[in-house]
Amino acid sequence: MPSHLPKSQVPVRRRVQPAAHDPALARAAAAFAPQVSERRLVDLKASVRNARTHSQKQIHLIAESIREFRFTTPILVTTDGEIVAGHGRYEAAKLLGMTTVPVICIDHLGPQQIRALRIADNRLAELSGWDDEILKLELGELIELDFEVDVMGFETAQIDVILDPGVQKATKADPADALPALQDVAVTVRGDLWLLGEHRILCGDARERGDYQTLMGGELAQMVFVDPPYNVQVDGHVSGLGKVRHREFAMASGEMSKLEFTGFLHAVFAEIAEASQDGALIYSCIDGPHLHEMLNAGYGVFNELKSVITWAKANAGMGSLYRSQTELITLWKKGKAPHINNIELGKHGRYRTTLWSYAGVNGFRKGRMAELESHPTVKPCAMV
């Protein structure tokens, strides 16, 4: 430091004194600690000078966090109930229908300090960052433990990027991403029938009657759940930009016209009908844009459309104008014989609707990656 500076110009670095050595801080800390109390929500009021904004989406996320973790951070208020910090929690509490909330009364600060604290409480939190490796580790382990990570405020796409940073870099199709042809000898080939206890799995063609005869062994189906391709290209619509990629379906993978796809579905439905008994129920999955083709195909084969069911997933998938969070399931009936009714609405307290809420494989949980790798359009076993 230059010795010629006048004493008044010598820089002075102020040190923050621990509360134990600063009587003023010690008094503030002593008075601060016991002030957590419950106050009626109607007695609180938002500050008209609050510069922090909260979207409705954020309010809902805060509400879900409170529902999951309880009210862990009290709202800071003045003696007359004006909120200093915690406007988001205040709105979330109203959304949840709470009548009281935990508060800390700030009565040791002057008006100017309270105004500054209202800004500092929000701004200082923005200055922190993330240790990407630890965050990735924590999120990954929580997912493996089946914890619903959605309540932590991250979007599905953000979690994808955290767990697989390569997603963020892939902005368009890269020739280097083209999947090579399979080099290994296939374990299962056309015509192979696997016997797994009472279950039978055939590698075949849903349009070939002989394959149904091989699979069914002369029996007829009472119920069928079928998930045909939607005539949608897998690349860019089903597979995302992550490390789990899938080849195109052998057929109906976006190459068919509307008329061709309707004919394709009609051929499949016709063989399903032949392999099903009178009164059988047939559940067939489809997306919204191709529902018209499926309805046309189904009406040409089956006797009745019983219902159109909506599968609501926990997270949205890919999409253009809107991200897709639903799929449709058309429910057909063959013939006029009574169908088996294991639902018996109203009996035994059962309540079933046409809205089925099941997490899709893009939901974060244990075993998610194995399911994503197994098939491009996996359906939950519990739903089926």
Tens of pLDDT, residue by residue over 145-193, are 778 777 888 877 677 778 776 544 444 554 544 555 655 677 888 899 9
3-class DSSP assignment, residue 206: coil
Half-sphere exposure of 103 (CA within 13 A, CB side): 27
Checking if the pLDDT of 277 tops 90, the result is yes
Min mean pLDDT across 260-269, 272-281, 286-295, 346-355 is at 346-355
User: Residue 131: phi, psi to the nearest 5?
Assistant: -85, 105
* Highest mean predicted confidence (pLDDT) among 27-41, 225-239, 290-304: 290-304
Give the whole-angstrom CA distance, residue 358 versus residue 337: 31
DSSP E strand stretches across the chain: 36-40, 75-77, 83-85, 100-105, 193-196, 199-202, 221-226, 276-286, 304-312, 326-333, 355-357
- Residue 93 · residue 101 · CB < 8 Å: yes
pLDDT given at position 329: 96
Percent of all residues in the chain with a pLDDT value above 70, rounded to a whole number: 72
- The whole-angstrom separation of Cα 308 and Cα 283 is 9
Question: Which helix (H) or strand (E) covers residue 292, if one does?
Answer: helix 291-299
Per-residue pLDDT at 370 exceeds 70: no
CATH number of 221-384: 3.40.50.150, 3.40.50.720, 1.10.10.10, 3.30.420.40?
Answer: 3.40.50.150
> Which strand (E) or helix (H) includes residue 143?
helix 132-144
CA 7 to chain centre: 63
CB atoms within 10 A of CB 100: 15
Write the CA distances from 182 to 47, 247, 355, integer angstroms: 64, 10, 39
Return the residue matching tokens 């490390």: 243
**Please, where in the chain does CATH 3.90.1530.10 lie?**
19-126
Q: Indicate the pTM of the whole model.
A: 0.49
Q: What's the pLDDT at 242? A: 46
The lowest-confidence range among 171-185, 224-238, 349-363 is 171-185
238, 182 in Cβ contact below 8 A?
no
Residue written as tokens 């490796």?
Answer: 133
Using an 8 Å Cβ cutoff, are 223 and 340 in contact?
yes
pLDDT exceeds 50 at position 72: yes
| Top-confidence range, 130-139, 223-232, 276-285 | 276-285
CATH 3.40.50.150 spans which residues of the chain? 221-384
| Beta strand spans in 1-105 (E) | 36-40, 75-77, 83-85, 100-105
Q: What are phi and psi of 83, to 5 degrees?
A: -75, 130
Q: CB of 114 within 8 A of CB of 106? A: yes
Which spans in the chain are helix H?
Answer: 23-32, 56-69, 87-96, 111-126, 132-144, 156-163, 166-169, 209-216, 258-274, 291-299, 368-374
Instruction: In whole angstroms, give the CA distance from residue 377 to residue 246.
Output: 10
* Distance between CA atoms of residues 49 and 82, nearest Å: 11
Class at the top of the CATH hierarchy for domain 19-126: alpha beta
